[in-house]
Chain A
Amino acid sequence: MTKRATRESFGQALTELALENRNIVALNADVSKSTKTAELQKVAPERHFNMGIAEADMMGVAAGLALNGKIPFASCFAMFATGRAFDQIRNSIAYPHLNVKICASHAGLSVGPDGATHQCNEDIALMRVLPGMTVIQPCDDVETLQAVKAAAEMRGPVYIRLGRSAVDDVNDESYVFTPGKGVVLHQGKDDVTIFATGLMVQESLMALSILNEKGIDPTVINIHTIKPLDKDLVLEYACRSRFIVTREEHSVIGGLGSAVSELLASEHPVRQIFIGVNDCFGESGTPAELFRKYGLSAKKIAEKIENELNR
Chain B
Amino acid sequence: MKSTELIARKMRQNIVRMIHSANSGHPGGSLSCADIVAALYFNVMHISKENINDVSRDKFILSKGHASETVYAALIEMGVLEESEVYTFRKMGSRLQGHPNMQHCPGIDMSTGSLGQGLSVGIGMSLANKLDGNDFRTYVLAGDGECQEGMIWEAAMAAAYYKLDNLLLIIDNNGLQSDGFNEDVMNIQPLGKKFDSFGWNVFGVDGHDIDVITQACKMAETVKGKPTVIIAQTVKGKGVDFMENQPGWHGRGMNDEEFASAMKQLGGDTDD
Contact = CB atoms under 8 A, between A and B. Distances in A.
Interface residues of A, number: 31
B182 interface: no
Nearest to A53: B154
B57 to A, nearest CB: 10
Q: How large is the interface on B (under 10, 10 to 19, 20 to 34, 35 or more residues)?
A: 35 or more
Interface in A42-74: 46-47, 49, 51-52, 54, 56-70, 72
A278 interface: no
A97 interface: yes
Given A70-B131, A87-B114, A95-B111, A56 B120 contact: yes
A60 B155 contact: yes
Interface of A: 25, 46-47, 49, 51-52, 54, 56-70, 72, 87-88, 90-92, 95-97
Interface stretch (B43-51, B73-81, B102-110, B207-215): B102-110
Contacts of A64: 110, 120-128, 138
A197 B232 CA distance: 53
Most B CB within 10 A of own CB, among A61, A90, A95: A61
A114 to B, nearest CB: 23
A65 B117 contact: no
Contacts of B162: 49
Instruction: Tell me if A's interface is mostly helix, strand, loop or mixed.
Output: helix
Instruction: Tell me if B's interface is mostly helix, strand, loop or mixed.
Output: helix
A227 to B, nearest CB: 20
Given A67-B124, A87-B114, A96-B102, A61 B55 contact: no
Given A57-B151, A57-B154, A96 B110 contact: yes
Contacts of B138: 64
B216 interface: no
A95 B121 CA distance: 14
Given A63-B124, A68-B124, 14 more contacts: A52-B157, A57-B151, A57-B155, A59-B120, A63-B110, A64-B110, A64-B128, A66-B124, A67-B109, A69-B132, A72-B124, A91-B112, A91-B113, A97-B103
Given A67-B109, A91-B114, A96-B102, A57 B158 contact: yes
B127 A96 contact: no
B129 interface: yes
A25 B130 CA distance: 13
Given A63-B110, A69-B56, A91-B111, A56 B151 contact: yes
14 contacts: A54-B151, A56-B150, A56-B151, A56-B154, A63-B110, A65-B124, A65-B127, A67-B59, A69-B132, A91-B114, A92-B110, A95-B103, A96-B103, A96-B111
A161 to B, nearest CB: 23
The 8 closest A-B pairs by CB, nearest first: A64-B124, A60-B120, A68-B128, A57-B154, A54-B154, A64-B121, A65-B124, A61-B124
Nearest to A97: B103
Contacts of B111: 91-92, 95-96
Contact of B56 (A66, A68, A72): A68
B110 A62 contact: no
B137 to A, nearest CB: 12
Nearest to B99: A91
Contacts of A65: 124-125, 127-128
A97 B101 CA distance: 11
A59 to B, nearest CB: 8
A60 B123 contact: yes
A49 B55 CA distance: 21
A69 to B, nearest CB: 5
Given A61-B123, A64-B128, A70-B131, A54 B158 contact: yes
A307 B232 CA distance: 70
Interface string B126-167: 111101100000100000000000110011011001100000
Interface string B26-70: 000000000000000000000000000001100100000000000
A60 B150 CA distance: 13
Contacts of B126: 64
